Chain A
């Protein structure tokens, strides 16, 4: 077994409210993620998903417990830079992540800040744009791009710092269907072809179905952890009001009407294939 890439030990995080009250956002998280995993993190608004994700690259520090990234504790200030270099973040709103006047300058921003020599930056930027399929747009001003293209540039920016892992916090929630498709396809490639560890926070159970492991959060705790075909059909997950993937819900209703279908049908393609086989 390889050593864990991210490990949290009894991680707690408490925010201070305006009136001084303590608001617990994470209540004891014990979690291990290995290199190369594709993990989806789901849960209702306010369940602690984003707070947890921000611990993975030391944007937040534990108020109790510990977080280890590639063997480095996030609580040790000497490790912060090394941790951020290993774990890249992509956020919800692409417009808040754009810093430069052209796509390639934007992608170069991260490695420049790390003090990488210019020749290597050139090479890294070209490669990152190639991976996300945005090479043709390298001289374009980012604000003229579509939402999906902007988000791919944001992913390229994270890639150019050569991370082992990318954490994406609802990267598709502001995109149209085509933008969502582009971004999800890119994420899958990063995992399948480059072997990057992916942590995808999402409100869409259809997106969670793409991962190989789904973590369900509620009230600052992880309440379920397993492969999507088990987790997304679990009754207690239904109780959280997260919904189900569309195909899973159709299959459930068909089963209620006496049509025998296997469980674990997460996508439209899988459901159509199962129906046609019947």
Chain B
């Protein structure tokens, strides 16, 4: 699906004392199959923007076009497209209500008018996609699961709709590091298998780095940066200027560079960071030993 955000402005509680401008003329295009991260400080408009992409809000001005059709329109074409956009809010498990895992995941597909066999096949596929064994989990009570398992069930419920666009708002919030790494790996595999568009809203820039190819930064309702992940996250000053802290990898490389080391400062992966540092250490070591040898030679000659 092709997403085009066109001069999108959103004002909450317009004309009241609580009026707040959440988006100010945002323009953005996201092509089919792109993996995009959206970040920005609290209150920058991230959540409002993705709710518009899902067609859940009516713009104050401008519009969002999904394959050329206004996302919020009350037409059959718009409804069809909205159905292909899956949006998971933060803590999606808080919205679960069914009595078994199977029924929870089947809820969406049932409302798509699929027959029983198709629904069962989708539930099985979605549970496998999130790493839960359908045999072991289908009949369990969702609320008796661990936090990480509940998160995965909630995610399976959205994947079972087979969206062409999946929007996730802080999908790893509240999970322990192992749970976080697992969810991210599942999402990566799902995206590779389906070729769908993935939009990840997150405060965690380092987490984002492994999953998206492009990062859009919002600040005060406007797009302030939009480019390849490395370029946006590697711009420490740009991040700081909107009140975001650069990932620790960037902070470390910046500190070394400030001390005169010839390192790139846009390495976002821990192995890349190590690969930047190792040659510098080798050079330093070399310089030092060479210094010692010259001194030794000099002593010898004397």
Q: Which residues of A contact B (CB under 8 A)?
A: 17-18, 43-46, 92, 146-148, 170, 173-181, 203, 205-206, 240-243, 246-247, 249-250, 253-254, 257, 259, 268-269, 271-272, 275-276, 278
Contacts and interface: CB of A to CB of B under 8 A. Distances in A.
Nearest to A261: B281
B176 A268 contact: no
A-B CB proximity, top 7 nearest? A241-B178, A177-B245, A272-B255, A243-B177, A246-B248, A176-B203, A146-B42
A179 B42 contact: yes
Contact of A254 (B174, B245, B249, B281): B281
A227 to B, nearest CB: 21
Contact of A148 (B42, B90, B146, B270): B42
B284 interface: yes
A206 B207 CA distance: 14
B203 A203 contact: no
Indicate the member of B42, B146, B147, B148 with the most A CB atoms within 10 Å: B42
Indicate the member of B176, B249, B270, B277 with the most A CB atoms within 10 Å: B176
Contacts of A268: 248, 251-252, 255
Contacts of A18: 141, 143-144
Interface residues of B, number: 40
Contacts of A178: 41-42, 243-245
Given A241-B177, A253-B270, A253-B274, A278 B203 contact: no
A92 B245 contact: no
Contacts of A205: 177
Given A45-B175, A253-B274, A268-B255, A175 B249 contact: no
A43 B177 CA distance: 10
A54 to B, nearest CB: 16
Interface of B: 41-43, 90, 141, 143-144, 146-148, 170, 173-179, 181, 203, 205-206, 243-245, 248-249, 251-252, 255-256, 259, 270-271, 273-274, 277-278, 281, 284
Given A18-B141, A174-B173, A259-B281, A246 B249 contact: yes
A242 B176 CA distance: 7
A254 B285 CA distance: 14
A233 to B, nearest CB: 15
Nearest to A47: B176
A247 B252 contact: yes
26 contacts: A17-B144, A18-B141, A43-B176, A45-B176, A92-B174, A174-B170, A176-B244, A178-B243, A203-B174, A203-B177, A205-B177, A241-B176, A241-B181, A242-B178, A246-B248, A246-B249, A246-B270, A247-B248, A253-B270, A254-B277, A254-B278, A259-B281, A268-B251, A268-B255, A272-B255, A278-B284
Contacts of A250: 252, 270, 273-274, 277
B273 to A, nearest CB: 6
Contact of B278 (A44, A46, A206, A259): A259
A242 B179 CA distance: 10
A44 B178 contact: yes
Given A242-B176, A246-B249, A257 B144 contact: no
A179 B245 CA distance: 10
Nearest to A172: B203
Nearest to A259: B281
A45 B147 contact: yes
Given A177-B203, A179-B42, 12 more contacts: A43-B176, A174-B170, A176-B42, A178-B42, A180-B245, A206-B248, A241-B181, A254-B274, A257-B274, A259-B277, A268-B251, A272-B259
